[in-house]
Chains A and B, each alone.
Chain A
């Protein structure tokens, strides 16, 4: 369900490490189900410097506007224009076609602070269970 090769944040975002110290990020499936239908994405412009766990954009759903945090520090290399044009991609395919931002990572060792998919599976299960109390 949650891709094995990805790393995850407590804010229910994922980062997929790529070669050349790059990485793609997006919203985890749990985040998109909690947000509901996403209608607008405000993503940082390419070239923007971002810091790990700091706000870098906004995600607007029919329910509310939520902050988008950067899973790692670095520079915005590219944003997914297709998702900006068609935000429902984030709901339909959060781990692939619905990716949001490609980052050039300035300190790859930061990724150690993220969760593995096994850890995140547990974290997500706890979040869901809390919702079911």
Chain B
């Protein structure tokens, strides 16, 4: 069967998808010809063809509701459908952002409680729910760091230290703030190298940004020493909270010495993401940064809720109050689970990752062979030596109907394969993934050609990524059809 990937492929001149009533008012002229953009070549299709086109495309989609999605660092856990019911309640959807505080007390109460819950979970003193994505929360954190040092009259601190396993958003956020970056090395165990930090941590450093556990899925046992060193030398310790799923109910960023941490409600707190919905990246802070939080915060006074702006706020970061619908789903998640169940989330997430680690260890090179947290990073080195790259392994997984893990990240692991199973997967699902990975390792040894040409069973074969980068072309033009 011929597949149609673009609407113009099914366009027929003169075909329309609706019938309009007879004209009962005077007709008016179209704009002059020179204002009409002929090159748009708008498709002309009937309603049924349009519905079938989009339905066919939707069937090609893959998501957490279709199958296992072990994309490391992304926490692609299942999103309970009950959250959608809650987020659809008319009392929450029929609000207008300009309504008076008086008339939206329920919504404000929900936001207030979520602020409090997130502060408690992270061991911090206050939360701003405003940032609308993880990297946006990072930006908020760094803007506060900058404002904090400026308020102290310390103008020399213009550098943010990161580790060589950092998420790419960490240096990007620093650059967005006009701050320089310095990269602290990792040691042989995959933890931060204290000597490297010792040599770099000077009076120009505003903060160290640390992912906890690291992107290698490892908990750094030297965190107390790191925190002490950074603070002794006048810096702040910022947390990238992307991996909070490993720590829920076990330990708190505040207790580990962090001054702030940015969260991802769309990862840890189970709201849809990855093409499935907008994000939310609240930032939680200790006492020393409260005055700088992005505005507005929700406060409570004798059971009345209202918006307020912290005295030295870095300002507004999003329209109105951030992504309210996402907050509702995260709130529903927390209320449906409660503290004891939250603990089980991190326990099961860590257990699942270690199960995958132990089962795959004989087949893939494990660069840091120690108990991992919520995700495990393998290297495709053994397979690379046989001429099979990690990208080939990832593409072959598609043939098994599975979403591949994160590949080529973190950068300090060559041919990295980063698997984050999350707590929501059953043993059977993990076993199925493990079996596929073992089979692929066997294929790499015995029949590498199958991997190099994978995927074989997908609607489109391997895409030419290099060509897509080199000749980026995002706009359909009528000439394409002629070609």
Binding site for B on A (CB under 8 A): 34, 36-37, 39-40, 62-64, 87-88, 128, 131-133
Contact = CB atoms under 8 A, between A and B. Distances in A.
B381 A62 contact: no
Contacts of B415: 131
Interface string B375-408: 0000001101100010100000000000000001
A130 to B, nearest CB: 8
**Which 10 A-B residue pairings sit nearest by Cβ, starting from the closest?**
A37-B466, A132-B385, A39-B469, A63-B408, A62-B465, A131-B381, A39-B470, A62-B466, A131-B384, A64-B411
Interface size range of chain B in the complex: 10 to 19
A8 B154 CA distance: 44
A48 to B, nearest CB: 19
B365 interface: yes
A44 to B, nearest CB: 19
27 contacts: A34-B414, A36-B389, A36-B391, A37-B465, A37-B466, A39-B466, A39-B469, A39-B470, A40-B469, A62-B465, A62-B466, A62-B469, A63-B408, A64-B408, A64-B411, A87-B470, A88-B466, A88-B470, A128-B385, A131-B384, A131-B414, A131-B415, A132-B381, A132-B384, A132-B385, A133-B365, A133-B381
Residue of B365, B382, B470 most packed against chain A (CB within 10 A): B470
A133 B391 CA distance: 19
A64 B411 CA distance: 8
Contacts of A64: 408, 411
Contacts of A87: 470
Contacts of A40: 469
Nearest to B380: A131
Contacts of B365: 133
Contacts of A34: 414
Interface string B410-436: 010011000000000000000000000
A93 to B, nearest CB: 16
Contacts of A132: 381-382, 384-385
A11 B411 CA distance: 15
B260 to A, nearest CB: 27
A128 B389 CA distance: 14
A37 B391 CA distance: 12
Interface string B260-292: 000000000000000000000000000000000
A42 B466 CA distance: 17
A128 B414 CA distance: 11
Contacts of A37: 465-466, 469
Contacts of A133: 365, 381-382
Contacts of B414: 34, 131
B391 to A, nearest CB: 8
Interface in B443-473: 465-466, 469-470
Nearest to B411: A64
Nearest to B414: A131
Contacts of B408: 63-64
A62 B381 CA distance: 19
Interface in B465-483: 465-466, 469-470
Nearest to A34: B414
B394 to A, nearest CB: 12
A34 B413 CA distance: 12
A68 B382 CA distance: 27
A28 B382 CA distance: 22
Nearest to A131: B381
Interface centre among B365, B384, B469 (most CB of A within 10 A): B469
A132 B415 CA distance: 11
A34 B416 CA distance: 12
Contacts of B470: 39, 87-88
